[in-house]
Structures are given as C-alpha cells and as structure tokens.
Structure 1
C-alpha cells in the first residue's frame, strides 16, 4: 500500500522550510510521498487561540533562546546550510498560499513550493510583497503576474479557508503538522516519529 505523509503547510514558518527539506530523506528511506495541504497559519492561530512561539513565549525566560538553539541543531543535523532567517519575518503569506492552490491546479505544486521557499528562506526576499513574489515566480518559469491575479479568484480564496477550517477540525493547532493515516504529529522535532510510523505501517 502506498505510504503518504500529509503535510499541513504554510510558507510563513521557517520550520516549514526545515521540515520540507528534511522530509526528502524520510521519503527516500521509506518510499513515502508527501501531500502538501495548503492552509493558512494565521487562520489556524485565530481559530484555535494559538500564537506564534516567539509571541507566546516572549515572557518565558530562556524559552525563545532555547527554541533558536533547537533550530540551529536541526539545521546542522540535516545539513541545511543554505537557510537564512529572513529579515522580513513575519511575512503575510495569504497570497502565496492562494498561489499554491493555483499551482496545484496547474500540476506544478512542488515546483512552486521549491521556488517560494528558496526565495523566502535562502535568498531573504520579501515574498509578502506581491511584486517581489511575481518576479521570483517569473524567474523560475511561472507566469508570476498571472498567478498573483488568480489569487483574487473567490473560489481560490474559499478553498484556502476551507482547507484551514478542515485542518483545525482534525485537531491541527500549528505548522508544521503531519498526518500518517489518522496519526497526527506536530513540529519539526517529530520527523523521527513520522518515519517510525511509516515503517510500522509498511
């Protein structure tokens, strides 16, 4: 039986970049494929009462510093040497996530994800700016202007909202979240558990 990792996905989090890259090794070892489910992290936070860690732990002495240390360890372990913390963080990714749904309809989802993640988390581009995003997409072989225009389609907007609401109904409260069958895993630190679940269900 085919093994699939469902990745509740938004470009907004640097952890999404890290796990996207790390999952390549998991798929190679297990034969699994990844289904990227476009959702809006801000919408998930609003529906669940959650906040970004750098906000929710701002008053907890040492917590955010430790989170940064964990990220550095993760980057080193997975040899993600191209990663750069974007000085424009946090960025509004609503248009980018709608664009991912457009790319999905074009059967170019993974190519789109690669392009946006590289621009955001390696090249430090302000992808929350529609003009910057359009240029980056065009440079990668997309019609960037057409994708940006298509993000205003009411059906595309509704699809992203529906995806987000459905994810919350399944128990999602943040990103990155993964499902292997009905089993849910949250956070980049759970990559190993995702792999174990895939192997157990083989």
Structure 2
C-alpha cells in the first residue's frame, strides 16, 4: 500500500478541487492519505512568492480557471463572498479536532465544502461557530498547541520542498496542484518513467543569469 501526505490550506480553490478529485484520480489503487493543514501565506513568504490574488489579472484568471475546472470535472464549486480571506480560524479549527498535525478526511471535507460551496462569507463568525459545533473539537483551536501544530506542518512541508498547495508527497516525490494528480497516480502505479532521467535530471541545468542588464 502506498502512502500519501496531502498538504492543504482551505483558502486554496485548487486544494479544494484536488481534495475532491483525489479518490477518483486514484481509483482502483491501494493507498492511504494523511491530510495536513498548512499556512499557504507562510509558504509564499518563505519562498518570496507573490500570492495570485495580489496580481489583478492572475486573480481574475485563477477564479475563472477554478470554476471551469469544477464544471469540467463535475465538482460543485462557488467562490466565497470574499476572497482571499483569513484562513487561520479554519486551519486552527481543523487542528483542534486532533491531538497531532493530521486531520481526518471528514474534517477536511466539512471545512472545504463550507468554504467552497454556497458562495457565503467564509470568515463569518456565526458560520465558524456552527462548524466548530459540528466538528466537536478535542482542544481549543486558539490554544498554543493548535498554533504549534500548524507551524510544524508548514515548516515540515517547506523542508520537504513544498512551495504551494495542494502538495502531495509520495515516496519523497512532490506533486503540486490539481493537474499534478495524474502524475501522482502514475507514480503510485510505479510507472518506470519516474526511475528514468526525465524525473531525476530535469532540473540539472543552469538557470538564467541574474546579472542581465
């Protein structure tokens, strides 16, 4: 049986789509998944990335693209009333349902669908309270333990090479994004391509000069 670590942040529509599509993408395979919430904003800061929503044309494309992907793959999706929003309450709530950094698929599904279905305000205090009641936390999401678990997950993902979400890790290989699920399936099926030169040496070449004037 293959094991997959699935790093997610509820703010990401691509993470939601990949989460929903994962069972279909891996249908017929023997595998287990550990779902780990991370803070996407901290990843962007670590790598010096600009969030897509900070570039107006990329923001517009991203929202149109994810709605199209949902339509094309039969995954219900609606944009929240406000986006981006602060995902910390959702992330800490998820981690309040467990005593470690891994959450159940049920918890991830419940929060993802609350954010990405219905078009409501994701950060509404009343809706967050209703989610907390539904999920029955085992510890306070505002506790230092829950905050530390989120930091630990994020640091772990970065240390493994993750730069965004969704990131799936299988056999120490990283697969990023909704469109990376097809590669993930091939790797889980032990496609010999992954033992050849294309995976191993694709990045073994000089990058562009930084001294271009």
Instruction: Give the shorter-chain TM-score range.
Output: 0.7 to 0.9
Distance in 2, Cα, partners of 1:43 & 1:66: 23
Which residue number in structure 1 is paired with residue 119 of structure 2? 124
Shift of the alpha carbon at 1:104? 2.8
* Structure 1: gaps spanning 5 or more residues: none
Which residue number in structure 1 is paired with residue 21 of structure 2? 22
Please identify runs of 4+ aligned residues in structure 1 that moved more than 6 A.
none
Q: Secondary structure at the match of 1:83?
A: coil
What is the total number of aligned residue pairs between the two structures? 191
Instruction: Give matches, 1:169-184, under 5 Å.
Output: 169-184=159-174
Shift of the alpha carbon at 1:64? 5.2
Which residue number in structure 1 is paired with residue 210 of structure 2? none
Distance in 2, Cα, partners of 1:88 & 1:67: 14
Which residue number in structure 2 is paired with residue 34 of structure 1? 33
Show CA shifts across 1:94-118 (max 9, x none): 1211121222339972222121111
Which residue number in structure 2 is paired with residue 136 of structure 1? 131
Instruction: Give matches, 1:95-134, under 5 Å.
Output: 95-105=89-99, 109-134=104-129
Q: Which has the higher contact order (CA 8 A, sep 6+)?
A: 1
Shift of the alpha carbon at 1:131? 3.1
Instruction: Give matches, 1:1-202, under 5 Å.
Output: 2-55=1-54, 57-58=55-56, 66-68=61-63, 70-80=65-75, 82-105=76-99, 109-138=104-133, 141-143=134-136, 150-200=140-190
Shift of the alpha carbon at 1:119? 1.1
* Structure 2: gaps spanning 5 or more residues: 193-213
Shift of the alpha carbon at 1:32? 1.9
Shift of the alpha carbon at 1:47? 1.6
Show CA shifts across 1:70-115 (max 9, x none): 43442233211x2111122112111211121222339972222121
Q: Secondary structure at the match of 2:152?
A: helix
Distance in 2, Cα, partners of 1:179 & 1:108: 16
TM (norm. structure 1) is 0.82
RMSD: 2.5
CA contact (8 A) 2:53 2:84 kept: no
CA contact (8 A) 1:125 1:132 kept: no
TM (norm. structure 2) is 0.79
User: Over alpha carbons, which structure has the higher Rg?
Assistant: 2
